[in-house]
Amino acid sequence: MKHTLLNILLPLFITTAFAKEAKAQPAKQNLNISFLLDLSDRIDPKKNPGIYQRDLQYIKSVQKAFTNHVKGKKMLLLKDQMQVFFNPLPNIPNIDQLSDQLKVSFSPQTSKKDFLNIEKLYTDNPTKIYQRAIKDHNYVGSDIWKFFKNNIREYCIKPQHRNILVILTDGYMYYKDSKIENAGKSSYITPQFLSLKKLTTASYQAVMKQKNLGFIAFPYNLKDLEIIVLGINPSIKNPYEEDVIKQYWADWFKAMKVKKFELRITDLPSSIEPIINNFIQ
């Protein structure tokens, strides 16, 4: 009788234990990761030695985190994608083809070849894009502000996905055709602009509040978007430049109700990789 009862209860116990474990480990979310690359003269090796190589390593770290996420999912549950954006489009050969190849998606129909290709694509294509922009010395600038105005919701937010935007920039915003100021708010900041606004002392927050300074925000609810900004490179002439830049970006994201964001200054890729992994996990 005891053996019979044990034979009945043991399978039930094991089944219940596995059910609880499965319940404790929710299915991985579908990832939708977008890059917005600032290909302004900040990547000029003469102006900022080593910056473009760091960008390439940051991109690689994000790609590895994305690949690890995808490999950790069951094939039937795959519904993940990653892509790269610029604004404006850089004037370099084959940019359409290079950027189109960087738009990758994974589904139950994805082949093993696609898994292998992503690592090569996200090594080769970004390198070609950066090196061609540098070789031609053709820095078209970067209009991040207008990208948010016109494209952020349509390009970077996908229903039933965890939407992450990775912005590679030095933290300054400036584009000659999008230079706007309105009641203290602006579409741009430069080192000269911040100096002109007297944001060079410990009282920068009080000055910003008094003068209503900040980026011009849009009446968007970006509650389904997470953003990590990498590569912030403040001028060394102002000891408060990093704080001021981060304040501008943080206030901007909060005004647009961004779900979660992180702002990081340029650093060794080995130091940034764990931050990227923690953000994406």
Provide the pLDDT for residue 24.
42
Is pTM beyond 0.85? Reply is yes
**Residue pair 176/139 in contact by the 8 Å Cβ criterion:** no
Closest CA to 64 of 129, 118, 100: 118
* Range list of β-strands (E), 118-180: 162-168
Distance CA 228, CA 280 (A): 10
List, for the chain, all residue ranges whose pLDDT scores fall below the cut of 50. Answer: 1-6, 8-25
Q: Domain limits of the chain?
A: 31-180+219-280
Compute the distance between CA of residue 153 and CA of residue 112 in angstroms, rounded to an integer.
32
Residue 138 backbone dihedrals phi, psi, to 5 degrees: -110, 75
3-state secondary structure 67-83: HHHHHCCCHHHCCEEEE
Structure tokens given for 245: 């830049």
Task: Please provide the CATH number assigned to the domain covering 31-180+219-280.
Answer: 3.40.50
Write out pLDDT tens, residues 81-101: 999 999 998 888 899 999 999
* Tens-digit pLDDT profile for residues 106-159: 999 988 788 889 999 999 999 999 999 998 787 878 999 999 999 999 999 999
Say which amino acid occupies 80: D
The pLDDT of residue 27 is: 63
Let me know how many helices (H) and strands (E) the chain has, helices first: 10, 9
